[in-house]
Amino acid sequence: MAGKVLNYGSLNIDLVYTVPHIVRPGETLTSLNYARFPGGKGLNQSIALKRAGAETCHAGSIGEDGRFLAELLQADGVDVSRVAVLDAPTGHALIQVEEGGQNCIVLFPGTNRMNAAQAPDALLNGFGEGDFLLLQNEVDGNAAVMEEAKKRGMKIALNPSPMDEEVLQLPLSLVDLFLVNEVEGADLTGEEAPEKILDAMAEKYPGAAVVLTLGSRGSMYADGKVRLSQPIFPCEVVDTTAAGDTFTGYVLNGLLAGEAPEVFMRRATMASSIAVSRAGAAPSIPYRKEVEEALGRL
């Protein structure tokens, strides 16, 4: 039986204002449109995991204003029993979008940076050997949760985004799977060429597998025994917002199921190509059946 995933990740509200132009200092501007969307890498990754087929539990924090985020996860079958509701505003992004597509963003971390008060042993209760802990860098408290997970025999997957100095302070030697893009890989290793990034990661973290995403050039996987490249599946690009999170969810589900890297990398790539061909973040993430049908048509 495949293990399950605890995703300790962000839950965000995206407040999007369509404007004639980005507001200037001292200016008051009337927006042309307003919309509220669910957001956060954590939320997107949990939905991707569940739609890929993984038993998924989300751990994180929201305010009363973010209850709809937990409801959205629950509607997809994600366990939200470890999502705390705090007396504080949910993390949110205030996004101005010009009619030409240019944008600017003000990010308020809110409850995403109030997770450390939750006891790691309580968060991880019921998880152990054969299960995965998935982390990214939009929340606080990662180090303590990583250490508790290792005590329980869990495997740790880290998507170090957004990359900053805090990532380098984490106990990275505990990580079993790194999911990084070229910029993050360069920050972790000091190398820029994909092959050299993988070589340096293998030297620094010999026990870890690495998935390196390369945009239009596809992706690579390396684990000390296997190294392979996976090209993209060409598609019309509409919105790339959830592409990386979709990829993460499908890769991790494949690892949990014990699939060969060439199998889950191919499926994850197809899932991402479907996601970028659709508008929106969470709504663009495909279900496993759609992905298998698309692969069957190749």
Strands annotated E in 33-181: 33-39, 56-63, 79-86, 91-98, 103-108, 132-136, 155-159, 177-181
pLDDT of residue 154: 98
Task: Describe the strand order of the beta sheet including 12-19 as a list of residue ranges.
Answer: 33-39, 12-19, 91-98, 103-108
Could you tell me if 142 and 6 are in contact, meaning their C-beta atoms sit under 8 angstroms apart? no
Length of the chain: 298
Average pLDDT, the chain: 94
CB contact at 8 A, 66 and 11: yes
Q: Quick check: 149 and 124 in contact, CB under 8 A? A: yes
C-alpha triplet 226, 227, 231: angle, nearest 5°: 130
Calpha distance 249→109 (Å, rounded): 23
Phi and psi, residue 2, nearest 5°: -65, 150
Terminal-residue alpha carbon distance, the chain? 30
Q: State the pLDDT at residue 147.
A: 97
Coil, strand or helix: which one is 67? helix
Does this model's pTM top 0.85? My answer is yes
Domain boundaries, the chain: 5-10+41-90+112-296
Q: Please check whether residue 262 is in contact with residue 228, taking contact to mean a CB–CB distance below 8 angstroms.
A: yes
- C-beta of residue 18 within 8 angstroms of C-beta of residue 47: no
Residue 230 is which amino acid? Answer: Q
Tens of each residue's pLDDT in the chain, 298 residues = 579 999 999 999 989 899 999 999 999 999 999 989 899 999 999 999 999 999 999 999 999 999 999 999 999 999 999 999 999 999 998 989 887 778 888 889 999 999 987 889 999 999 999 999 999 999 999 999 999 999 999 999 999 998 999 999 999 999 999 999 999 999 999 999 999 999 999 999 999 999 999 988 999 999 989 999 999 998 988 888 889 999 999 999 999 999 999 999 999 999 999 999 988 888 899 999 999 999 999 8
Percentage helix, strand, coil, to 5, in the chain?
A: 40, 25, 35
Tell the CATH superfamily of the 5-10+41-90+112-296 domain.
Answer: Ribokinase (3.40.1190.20)
Nearest to 92 by CA among 38, 154, 26: 38
